[in-house]
């Protein structure tokens, strides 16, 4: 791709900053990032050819500081600024400031941004251009009496909208005349405080709407084209969740009419660059022949632009750069084709189980499937990053293409099952339920879809799958083995039988019970009984020297309050391979892959697109016949060994101090449970011990 600029600055962050760099760098353009304190180690900063720190974390002090961004561009010799979406992307003053400083704003002219900035003004302009708008009232007379009279004329239900509104603020649905005065007062109050402007418009409330938008592009030579539609009807509280192109069931005549209306809209305001004209379609009687109305125009690149790229094969960021540099549009309308279907989902850091509150924390695990032209992942975060409340909670967009919608959904489903996130709550499982929902698969969608199917999409927490518990147990055993191997290596007597983690109680295969609590709040006991080579249930094959290469018979029993409980599941489980946190187990002959992270207090199992957090309760070891040897001393909680007060073979009295642990920032001295002799002591000061780990034993007698 021949280059059009030498160097641009990207006035944005996260996935969109990475996305813009992907194209710009491929075109040989140097990219300058700007970043806040919170993003000093972010992926987009690493990826940039140069980066300028512009301020503290709050966006008002960094990504919205126009002067600091323009200064950064001048300092680094950037010729143009790409604003991405959000932040300053639809700020006409910023576009003007760029021009005044000799910088190209990669977006439309300031006047075009202003023309679409206020909803009332935009609707007036569109009416003049012959673009259909939602029937209603959007004039200057804002007296209570005029608005009430207009409301009667329009009829109910109707919508009051703040002309300066955004993000659904300053919007009220009114079902009958009696509610109108109160709703008007509320919408005005909200608009005044959020936007400093309490002018409202009224429009007919469409009761079964679909949100369908047209991607347009225009150049400075008066050419404007449509790159077809995207359906963004799947929204939760006006926030888009799933977007697709083309719109399911879109009749060709509607595509052409809507495309022509969008192009007329762009031309009417002297538009340049990428823009999106959003329409609301009244689908009360289906999509065929349904009326559609202009809703608003977004004068920037949209979050969901990848679905358009996947069906057209065009790179919209490349188009933006070319058009901003003064080139004509790369293609005329007749040369723009679409092929197949693309569906995008937005992966958010939010907790569907808690009404989708934004989630924060460290991404302990983040892995995406490989991109292959069919599957695309636009991410702005990496494993180990912290997600804060300062910015939008979107972590990534996962997009799939297919020759038809069914195939695209199948690829997307596969992609989501191979996405792994842990450390904070996300909507990953929710997204899978959405795209698997029969009504969604049938293309039976409108903006009320998510609310209508809430019971299916956000079911109450269910019991952990038995496989998750089996894998959690394998993870716990593997970690303990690794810890003991570490202790043994440090003890100078690595061959000692006391370092064995399995079968260390000589001559007797043991059963071990681990207790986990799942998302359903119930405790389950998982009992592992090693299977020996001669057991008929064993499928032991190659690794004869490895302890329990024959695997375990595992049973899952629900805690009935008294400890034991009814058995819910049972299987023969064998660890076939482990690389770090990646486990491959064989469960009753079927292979299961998962990522298992064992923490002191919980085990996280990531399997097939679901992340299960299993809280651990105190570990118990039951020999199958007798209770634990009475002199065993275990760590009551995870911690660090501060001091070992006794030596191997020392005689101790009951209650004598043995080991000092530091746990949860407190010191705790463990004492002898009975009189006897210290045995099996392998601890050293500085060792880390896990909850329930055996520290030493006090053997009976002198
Ligand atoms: P904002 O700028 O606050 O996002 P919009 O005008 O874009 O407001 O509308 C946001 C959403 O509200 C739309 O996506 C649609 O779901 C719904 N909406 C807007 N206008 C209407 C209407 N006249 N009837 C029904 N729903 C509407």
184: CB partners within 8 A, 6+ apart: 144, 147, 160, 172, 200
Q: Whose CA is nearest to atom 2 of ligand 1?
A: 166
**Does residue 479 sit within a domain?**
yes
- Domain presence at residue 119: no
Q: Are 292 and 132 contacting, i.e. CB atoms less than 8 angstroms apart?
A: yes
Can you tell me the distance from the alpha carbon of 48 to that of 59, in angstroms, rounded to the nearest whole number?
Answer: 20
- Name the domain boundary from 412, 444, 459: 459
Residue with CA at minimum distance from ligand 1 atom 9: 168
Contacts of 545 (CB under 8 A, 6+ apart): none
The reported pLDDT for the residue numbered 545 is 37
Contacts 24+ apart (CB under 8 A), 446-450: 446/208, 446/209, 446/210, 446/233, 446/283, 447/209, 447/210, 447/211, 447/233, 447/235, 448/208, 449/233, 449/234, 450/234, 450/235, 450/236, 450/241
Claim to verify: residue 222 and residue 325 sit in the same structural domain? yes
118 within domain boundaries? no
Q: Which residue's CA is the closest to the ligand 1 atom numbered 25?
A: 206
**Last residue of a domain, which of 339, 357, 383?**
339
CA–CA separation, 614 vs 85, rounded Å? 38
Whether 295 lines ligand 1, by a CB cut-off of 6 Å, is: yes
417 and 495 fall within a common domain: no
531 & 655 share domain: no
Which atom of ligand 1 is the closest one to the Cα of 203? 23
In a domain, 624, yes or no: no
C-alpha 458/C-alpha 632 separation (Å) is 46
Cis check: omega of the bond before 288, within 30 degrees of 0: no
What residue numbers bound the domain in which 162 lies?
A: 135-204
Tell the residue nearest (CA) to atom 14 of ligand 1: 238
CA dihedral (410, 413, 417, 418) positive or negative = positive
- What's the pLDDT score for residue 693? 84
Tell me the CA distances in angstroms from 348 to 257, 410, 427, 528, one per residue in order: 34, 21, 6, 37
Tokens read off for 236: 């939760």
Ligand 1 centroid–CA 451 distance in Å is 15
3-state class (DSSP) for residue 636: coil
Residue 284 Cα to chain centre, angstroms: 33
Handedness of CA 181, 185, 186, 187 (dihedral sign): positive
Cα separation, 49 vs 489, whole angstroms: 46
pTM of the model: 0.84
Q: Tell how far the Cα of 171 is from the centroid of ligand 1, in angstroms.
A: 8
Q: Give the N- to C-terminal CA distance of the chain in Å, as an integer.
A: 83
Establish whether residue 159 lines the binding site of ligand 1, counting it when its CB lies within 6 angstroms of any ligand atom: yes
Answer whether residue 411 is part of any domain: yes
Q: Ligand 1 centre and the CA of 460: distance in Å?
A: 30
Cα(546) to ligand 1 centroid in Å equals: 63
Q: CATH number of the domain that 152 lies in?
A: 3.30.1490.20
Same domain, 187 and 300: no
Which residues are paired to 133 by β-bridges?
294
Residue 623 resides in a domain: no
Q: Is 166 in the pocket of ligand 1 (CB under 6 A)?
A: yes
Tell me, what DSSP letter sits at residue 674? S
Altogether, the residues listed in the chain come to a count of 702
Q: 611 with 478, same domain?
A: yes
Question: Largest Cα–Cα distance of the chain, in whole Å?
Answer: 102
Residue 165 CB less than 6 A away from ligand 1: yes
* 168 CA closest ligand 1 atom index: 3
Q: How many beta carbons lie within 10 A of that of residue 330, not counting itself?
A: 16
DSSP code for 133? B
Residues 17, 21: Cα–Cα separation, whole Å: 6
Distance CA 677, CA 659 (A): 14
User: Does residue 294 have its Cβ closer than 6 Å to ligand 1?
Assistant: no
Q: Is 134 in the pocket of ligand 1 (CB under 6 A)?
A: yes
Q: Is the CB of 206 under 6 A from ligand 1?
A: yes
How many angstroms does the Cα of residue 188 sit away from the middle of ligand 1? 17
- Kindly report the CATH number assigned to the domain that includes residue 636: 2.40.50.100
Report yes or no on 439 lying in a domain: yes
Q: Give the gyration radius of the chain's Cα atoms.
A: 31
The one catalytic residue in 7, 300, 523, 553 is 300
Structural domain total, the chain: 6
Are both 481 and 434 inside the same structural domain?
no
CA 68 to chain centroid, in Å, comes to 30
Protein residue with its CA nearest to atom 1 in ligand 1: 166
Distances (CA, A) of 95 to 9, 83, 545: 14, 9, 70
Residue 162 CA: nearest ligand 1 atom is: 3
pLDDT of residue 542: 42
Q: For residue 57, give both structure tokens.
A: 């974390």
Q: Answer whether 208's CB lies under 8 Å from 285's CB.
A: no
Last residue of a domain, one of 178, 204, 230: 204
Please give the torsion angle defined by the CA atoms of residues 202, 207, 210 and 213, in that order, rounded to the nearest 10 degrees: 0
Query: How many Å lie between the centroid of ligand 1 and the Cα of residue 204?
Result: 11
Does ligand 1 have an atom closer than 6 angstroms to the CB of 540? no
Residues 142 and 20 in one domain: no
d(CA 180, CA 176): 7
Q: Within the chain, how many helices (H) and strands (E) appear?
A: 17, 39
Q: Looking at the structure, do residues 607 and 476 belong to the same domain, yes or no?
A: yes
Report the separation in Å between the CA atom of 296 and the middle of ligand 1, taken as the mean of its atom positions.
9
The atom number, within ligand 1, closest to the CA of 295 reads: 6
- Does the active-site annotation cover 300? yes
The CA-atom distances, in angstroms, between 257 and each of 50, 289, 292, 503 are 45, 11, 10, 75
Strands 292-298 and 357-358: unpaired
Query: Does residue 358 sit in the same domain as residue 454?
Result: yes
In the reported structure, the alpha carbon of residue 168 is separated from the centroid of ligand 1 by a whole-number distance in angstroms of 7
Which residue lies with its CA nearest to atom 11 of ligand 1?
238
pLDDT along the chain (702 residues), means of 10: 86 98 97 97 97 97 98 98 97 98 98 95 94 95 97 97 87 95 94 92 97 98 98 93 98 97 96 98 96 96 98 98 98 98 97 91 96 96 94 96 98 98 97 98 97 95 94 92 74 61 46 88 91 55 51 92 80 96 97 94 94 79 51 83 88 87 71 89 85 86 58
Residue 560: per-residue pLDDT: 78
Residues 514 and 386 in one domain: no
Would you say 366 and 372 are in contact if contact means Cβ atoms under 8 Å apart? no
Do the domain assignments include residue 359?
A: yes
122 lines ligand 1 (CB under 6 A): no
Strand partners, 216: 226, 275
| Ligand 1 centroid from CA 276, angstroms | 15
- Of 167, 295, 303, best ligand 1 pocket probe by most atoms within 8 Å of the beta carbon: 295
- 418 with 558, same domain? no
Q: Is the CB of residue 344 below 6 angstroms from any atom belonging to ligand 1?
A: no
Q: If DSSP codes are grouped into helix, strand and coil, which group holds residue 270? A: coil
Dump the DSSP string for 483-520.
HHHHHHHHHT-TT-GGG-SSS-STTS--EEEEEEE-TT
Same domain, 493 and 405: no
What contacts 212, CB < 8 A, 6 or more positions away? 229, 230, 231, 232, 233, 247, 250, 258, 279, 281, 292
**Is 167 near ligand 1, meaning CB less than 6 Å away?**
yes
């Amino acid at each position: 791709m021949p280059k059009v600029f030498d160097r641009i600055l990207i006035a944005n962050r996260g996935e969109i900053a990475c996305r813009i760099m992907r194209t710009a760098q491929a075109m040989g353009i140097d990219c300058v990032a700007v970043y806040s304190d919170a993003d000093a180690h972010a992926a987009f900063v690493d990826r940039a050819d140069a980066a300028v720190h512009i301020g503290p974390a709050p966006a008002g002090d960094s990504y919205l500081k126009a002067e600091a961004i323009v200064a950064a561009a001048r300092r680094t010799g950037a010729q143009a600024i790409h604003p991405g979406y959000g932040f300053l992307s639809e700020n006409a003053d910023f576009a003007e400031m760029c021009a005044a400083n000799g910088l190209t704003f990669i977006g439309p002219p300031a006047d075009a941004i202003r023309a679409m900035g206020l909803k009332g003004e935009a609707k007036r302009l569109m009416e003049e251009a012959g673009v259909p708008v939602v029937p209603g009232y959007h004039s200057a007379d804002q007296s209570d009496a005029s608005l009430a009279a207009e409301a009667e004329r329009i009829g109910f239900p109707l919508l009051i909208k703040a002309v300066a509104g955004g993000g659904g603020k300053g919007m009220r649905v009114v079902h009958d005349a009696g509610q109108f005065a109160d709703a008007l007062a509320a919408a005005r109050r909200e608009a005044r405080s959020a936007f400093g402007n309490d002018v409202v418009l009224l429009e007919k409330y469409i009761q079964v709407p679909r949100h369908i938008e047209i991607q347009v592009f225009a150049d400075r030579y008066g050419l404007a084209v449509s790159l077809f539609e995207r359906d963004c009807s799947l929204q939760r509280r006006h926030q888009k969740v799933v977007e697709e192109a083309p719109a399911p069931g879109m009749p060709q005549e509607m595509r052409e009419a809507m495309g022509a209306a969008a192009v007329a809209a762009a031309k009417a305001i002297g538009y340049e660059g990428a823009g999106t004209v959003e329409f609301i379609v009244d689908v009360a009687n289906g999509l065929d022949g349904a009326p559609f109305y202009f809703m608003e125009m977004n004068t920037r690149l949209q979050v969901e632009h990848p679905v358009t790229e996947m069906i057209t094969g065009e790179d919209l960021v490349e188009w933006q750069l070319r058009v901003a540099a003064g080139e004509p549009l790369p293609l005329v309308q007749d040369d723009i084709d679409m092929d197949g279907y693309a569906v995008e989902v937005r992966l958010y850091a939010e907790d569907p189980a808690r009404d989708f509150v934004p989630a924060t924390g460290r991404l302990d695990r983040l892995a995406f499937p490989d991109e292959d032209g069919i599957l695309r992942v636009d991410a702005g975060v990496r494993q180990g990053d912290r997600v804060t409340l300062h910015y939008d909670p979107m972590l990534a967009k996962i997009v799939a293409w297919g020759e038809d919608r069914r195939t695209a959904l199948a690829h997307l489903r596969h992609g989501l099952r191979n996405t792994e996130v842990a450390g904070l709550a996300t909507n990953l499982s929710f997204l899978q339920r959405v795209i698997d929902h029969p009504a969604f698969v049938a293309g039976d969608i409108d903006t009320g879809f998510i609310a209508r199917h809430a019971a299916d999409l956000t079911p109450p927490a269910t019991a952990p799958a038995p496989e998750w518990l089996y894998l959690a147990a394998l993870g716990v055993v593997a970690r303990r083995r690794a810890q003991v191997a570490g202790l043994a290596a440090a003890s100078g007597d690595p061959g000692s039988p006391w370092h064995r983690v399995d079968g260390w109680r000589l001559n007797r295969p043991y059963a071990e019970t681990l207790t986990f609590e799942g998302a359903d709040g119930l405790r389950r006991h998982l009992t592992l009984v090693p299977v020996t080579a001669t057991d008929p249930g064993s499928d032991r094959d190659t690794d004869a020297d490895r302890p329990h290469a024959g695997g375990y018979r595992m049973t899952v029993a629900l805690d009935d309050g008294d400890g034991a409980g009814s058995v819910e599941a049972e299987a023969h489980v064998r660890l076939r391979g482990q690389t770090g946190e990646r486990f491959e187990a064989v469960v009753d002959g079927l292979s299961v892959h998962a990522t298992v992270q064992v923490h002191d207090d919980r085990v996280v199992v990531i399997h097939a697109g679901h992340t299960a957090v299993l809280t651990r309760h105190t570990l118990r070891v039951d020999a199958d016949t007798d209770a634990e040897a009475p002199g065993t001393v275990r760590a009551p909680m995870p911690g660090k060994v501060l001091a070992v007060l006794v030596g191997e073979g020392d005689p101790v009295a009951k209650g004598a101090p043995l080991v000092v642990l530091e746990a949860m920032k407190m010191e705790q001295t463990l004492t002898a449970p009975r009189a006897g002799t210290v045995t099996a002591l392998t601890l050293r000061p500085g060792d880390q011990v896990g909850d329930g780990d055996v520290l030493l034993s006090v053997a009976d007698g002198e």
